[in-house]
Structures are given as C-alpha cells and as structure tokens.
Amino acid sequence: MASSLIDLCTLISTSVATVDARCKALAGTYPDLNNPTNSKESEALLNDDEIANATSIALAAASQLIASMQYPSRSILDASYGFVVSTALGVVAESSTAEIIREAGPQVLKFLATWSRRATPTFNRGCHINDIAKKNGMDPTKIARVLRPLATQHIFRELSPDVFAHNRISALIDTGKSFEAIQAAPEDKYAGAEGHAALILLNTDETFKAAGYIQDVVLDKVSEASDDEFNTPLNKAFGTHIDLFSWYEKAENRKRFKRFGFAMDVSRKLSPPGAILQGFKWSALPEKTLIVDVGGGIGSISLEIAQANPHLRFLIQDTQAVIREGEQHWETELPGALAAGRVSFGEHDFFGPQSVKNADIFLLRYIVHDWSDAYSFKILKHLRDAAQSTTKLIVVEHIVPLACEEDDAFKHIPGAVPTTLPPKPLLPNLGVVNMMPYFVDIQMMALLRGCERTFPHYWDLLKKTGWEIEEVYRPLGSLVSQIVAKPI
C-alpha cells in the first residue's frame, strides 16, 4: 500500500510540474482559486491539450489518494451527506445570493503590488450575511448555514465571521445581472445570463426533488416490470403522470420551462469552446447541406455549428412552445439567419414518422438518453425510415466508461475504444475526472426512464433500428462524444 501511495503522490507532483512548465512556456498564469475574475487568457490555458491531460491525471490521483488514506467510515458518511452541498447550492442560486455578494463590489489588494511585478489582482471584498438578508429577505443565520459548508468545499470564501466573498468556483453561480433586474423580471433571470445558475437549479430543484423518490421506484418490482414510461421518480415527487417535457409546459412550471432551455445552453458550454467542431468535419460538408436537429430545443448546438459554418442549413425540430424560445434565441445570437433561410424551426413529435426525407444529417443531441430503449427505438427507427442511403446520423451523448478496462471487441471502429490508458494505479476511467456520465445517468433515472449508455449498448440499439456505427469522436475535454452512424 505504501508504494501505491507514493506512486499517487508522484503522479500528482509530476503532473503539477508539467502544468506549471507549460503555463510558463505559454507566458500564462494558472487561474487563481480565490480570484472570481481571472482573465480569459488565464482560463483559456485549461483548454491546452498538455495542460488538460496533466490536470486530469493530477485530479484523478489526488482523489484516489484521499480515498486511500481517508477512514472508510468517514468516506462513506461523507458520500451519504452529498445532499448538503446540493441543497446549499440550490438555496444560494434561487435566492440570488451570488448576485448580492458580487454587487458588494471589488477590492484591490494593493499590498500585493509591493512584492509582485504582476498586475494587481482584484478580489471581492465580501458581504455580511445581514446585508445579504436585507436584500433577499432570508434569515441571516440560514444564509450563513448554507454558505459556510460551501466555503468549506472551496465554493465561496469566508473572509471574516459571517462575511462571504466569491472565488473562481462560486462566481459561476452568478448570472451577472443586478439583483434589482432579477426581482423585476424573475422569469427572465437566465436570458443572456453568465454563469451556470440555470443548470445548477435544474439539478438542485426538479432533479433533486425527484431523486428523493428513486429508491421508492427502482425497488418497487411492480413498477420496474411495467412498461409505463411515465412511472418515474419525478412523477411520484410531483404527483403527475406525464413526461418531463409535457410537465414543463404546464402553466405552473413556466419558470422551470424557460430555465430548462437555458440550462441546456449552459450544458453546451461545459465543454471547451468549439468542442462540437472538434470531431465530425462539419466544414467539409457541401454547400447547403441540410442538418435536421431533432428535438434540438432552442438550437444551441446547431447555432454553434452555424456560426462556424455559414454554408450549412439547419432545421430545428421541437414542440411549438420551445420553438418560440428558439426563434428569439437565434435572433439574438445570429441575427438574420432566420430571414436568410439558413435556419428554420419546425414542430415535430419524434415518436411519430419523420416528415423530412431529404436530410443530409440527422442530429440527436441529448435525446436518446432521455428515453428507455423501447422509446429510443421508436425515435431511431423513424429516422432510419426517412433516411436516404447517404444520410448520416450523429448522436451526441455521453458514452459511459467502465470502471475497469474496456473490452476490445469494438477496436476496429475508430474512436470506439480508448487507445491509451491512464498510468497505474489510477482507475481506467480516471475516477472523479469522468464522473459526469454517471451523474447524468442517475439524473435520467430521476426525471425520465432514460439512461446513459455504454458503447456496446449504443451499438446494439442502433443496429436494431437500422443504423451502423462508423466512427466515434471524443474531443479532448468534451463531456460528450459524437457517434456517427450510417444506414444499414
């Protein structure tokens, strides 16, 4: 065991040294945890391939070192208390506490300039819980009770008793809007917002509440044996018998509905800028290639492709309610695209026949993971029935990695199996570095009857619906893979 601990420490130290050397080579400075406003150039360093790889190894090794050295009873209890952080984040995001703290104003730490030739850093000076309470109306003691565990997790900082400030992580809760503007138009809180607040609240509101019923549903043998797609933890938590998206369209969920659209836009930004462009060669497609974004929401992913490829055409399909939001989003982000015919929106139920018969590409991003195999089969089969012999299907989803070495049965398919493994004694899936597919998988269990899938699972599902996977792209740093398939 001792040698294993030393191996992990060595991986940490050598990886950090690699990051430091690469930052110096690029004449940059690694982002400072305590600074909520690191420069764009500093944050951009994290997208450098060498820095990203070394960082992943350091994080995986550090997490495994903690697991190796922590008392097992402490580890398992800490894991069971994970709801504390989720609860606290939800309260902070919904109460606009992050915006209030930011509006307390910056403070330049001038004394640092006396011994550093670098630019003088700017940090938030913090805000007392009483001053936060005066604005959002919360009990000041409860504000401290949610902020303090977050600060202990390095989300926010407690500068002095009951005075809290932002850091690099907590700044992502901030929408960048004024507290007054949010109070005046709460439904528009996430429109054009900075940060990740919309996605955080998707996770800490409906997902969190639904997740509390996962045990009840998955351990109910009658429920599990049923083919009822609407017998989910979400249905149980909110007393409904409709799918998530129909539930969003209910009048009482208008705020959640709008927030969900912006949360999906935020999820796109979790991968490095341009990640969707680093894989399938969109730029090599012929002029006026038609890409049908099935269930595309407000068209966030198509928008990113369109901005880099003005020669392509897009049809974004979703429900009428979502289409209205999408058209407004495109007019803001890419004015003139609708009028020029570069993009259009169409109402479509993907469980029914696909009316577009001339698609060059059918794009499915975060769609099949929402549904069980039986319902995903319907979606994929309708697309196959509408496909031309030259049509490509691109599925953008998490591919769930195993916690052991992958089977090489699919190594003949480019990108299907990782070609390199992390250094031992790290887990083959890099541990906490790649937790996102598992997080989203449990989220699907809570909200729908969908799931994240392993590569063999995707291979079987697509094969049964008339598609054959040709290749897989796994852009470095991206949370999702691009599965490219052709009609059989």
Residue 378 burial class via C-beta count within 10 angstroms: exposed 0-12, middle 13-18, buried 19 and up: middle
Distance between CA atoms of residues 25 and 16, nearest Å = 14
Cα 332 → chain centroid: 23
127: nearest Cα among 97, 155, 163, 157? 163
**Crossing angle of the two packed helices 49-69 and 2-25, in degrees rounded to 10:** 150
Distance between CA atoms of residues 422 and 428, nearest Å = 6
Helix (H) or strand (E) holding 128: strand 127-128
Q: ∠ CA 43-47-48 to the nearest 5 degrees?
A: 115
Tell me the two tokens of residue 104: 């307390």
Using left for φ > 0, alpha for ψ between -120 and 50, and beta otherwise, residue 239 falls in left
8 A C-beta contact, residue 476 and residue 423: no
Tell me the two tokens of residue 472: 């897989």
User: How far are the Cα atoms of 160, 201, 314 from residue 152, in angstroms, in the given order?
Assistant: 14, 21, 46
Choose the catalytic residue: 128, 196, 369, 398: 369
Instruction: State the pairing for strand pair 343-347/361-365.
Output: unpaired
Give the chain's count of helices (H) and strands (E).
21, 12
* 369 in active site: yes
**Cis amide linkage into residue 121, ω under 30° from 0:** no
N-terminal to C-terminal alpha carbon distance within the chain: 51
Residues near 83 by Cβ (< 8 Å), separated by ≥ 6?
A: 208
Catalytic residues: 369
